[in-house]
Structure 1
């Protein structure tokens, strides 16, 4: 499915669920909770967490998307900015021009939640509009997928491709480089806000 043909099911919901509360009644289990609004939540087969279970009142978007967890790892913009960044320059389907994307490797982001790069897991990547894809950790690593936070030197905005985009440099990957540009990014949800780590 082309990324520009996704239906925005989240538009009528409001955005309250995107900024997950970190000060809920659930105590942080291991790591320090973020001090800013949560932009990305990782749940499932993780060994590090900094928030408790999904809160049906506060986590409205996640609830409407059918996400459930008893613990999770929440990241704010500052946490993502502290991670080593990688820069890629893929040709995007929206204007067929190369754009500079920057952000940490997906494997680096997952490591914060205690998921090692070699783990035999599947990753459910979910966007704010409900678009959801599954990719193996092995493929995410082989494709050097990043969690892009910047495009062409600017932070990616909510309402655009951000605040995060799980993406790879399709121009250089044998699995994608010979496909039409509109068919290269089906595994790359923009508006990424949740990752579910599932044991394979």
Structure 2
């Protein structure tokens, strides 16, 4: 009986710590010439958050996206690159002009409609532009900037 209680205690302990361990995993690396900056979901969440409510070509209706503004992240790292080469988990990448990301206040979304974004729903990070607020962005050129399942960003 004591062995059963010990096993239950261990399983309970592991279950209680599993989310903390997963939350500590690096989900974003920002590469610059001289350094790499690694971020966990918790570290990104600790930065000032921004929301964008918009429709996208890949979703039905409008959704509320929350995350850190790309401009905020660059300011925190004291970076001012011309271009951000954004890489996804599936090796897709796009070169996003920093001026465009700043002008339209693009974000690295971590949540959609109040829920954390999973890989299945384009997470854990998705570059979101406010397409509904700025109809001029609703074209393929800008759609390509909206990389989902972001893993790394190279500051060029």
Q: Is the TM-score greater than 0.5?
A: yes
After TM superposition, give the deviation of residue 113 of structure 1 in Å: 2.6
**Superposed counterparts of 1:7-18, under 5 Å:** none
CA separation in 2, counterparts of 1:152 and 1:80?
A: 18
Q: Of residues 39, 48, 57 in structure 2, which corresponds to 1:93?
A: 57
After TM superposition, give the deviation of residue 183 of structure 1 in Å: 7.2
Q: Of residues 105, 124, 128 in structure 2, which corresponds to 1:163?
A: 124
Equivalence for 1:59: none
CA separation in 2, counterparts of 1:120 and 1:127?
A: 19
CA separation in 1, counterparts of 2:134 and 2:91?
A: 27
Pick the structure with more helix per residue: 2
**Superposed counterparts of 1:131-170, under 5 Å:** 131-170=92-131
Equivalence for 1:173: 134
Q: Any gaps of 5 or more consecutive residues in structure 1?
A: 1-34, 47-70
Deviations 1:103-132 (A, max 9, x none): 1101112233321xxx35211011111111
**Superposed counterparts of 1:23-42, under 5 Å:** 36-42=24-30
CA separation in 2, counterparts of 1:169 and 1:123?
A: 18
Q: How many residue pairs end up in the alignment?
A: 134
- Kept after mapping to 2: 8 A contact 1:42/1:113: no
* Alpha-carbon distance change, 111 to 191 in structure 1, aligned in 2, over 3 angstroms: same
* Alpha-carbon distance change, 125 to 183 in structure 1, aligned in 2, over 3 angstroms: closer
SS in 2 for 1:149: strand
Q: Of residues 66, 84, 87 in structure 2, which corresponds to 1:123?
A: 84
Q: Any gaps of 5 or more consecutive residues in structure 2?
A: 1-22
- Kept after mapping to 1: 8 A contact 2:84/2:95: yes
SS in 1 for 2:55: coil
- Kept after mapping to 2: 8 A contact 1:147/1:165: yes
Pick the structure with more strand per residue: 2
Deviations 1:11-36 (A, max 9, x none): xxxxxxxxxxxxxxxxxxxxxxxx91
Runs (4 or more) in structure 1 with deviation over 4 Å come to: none
- Kept after mapping to 1: 8 A contact 2:81/2:155: no
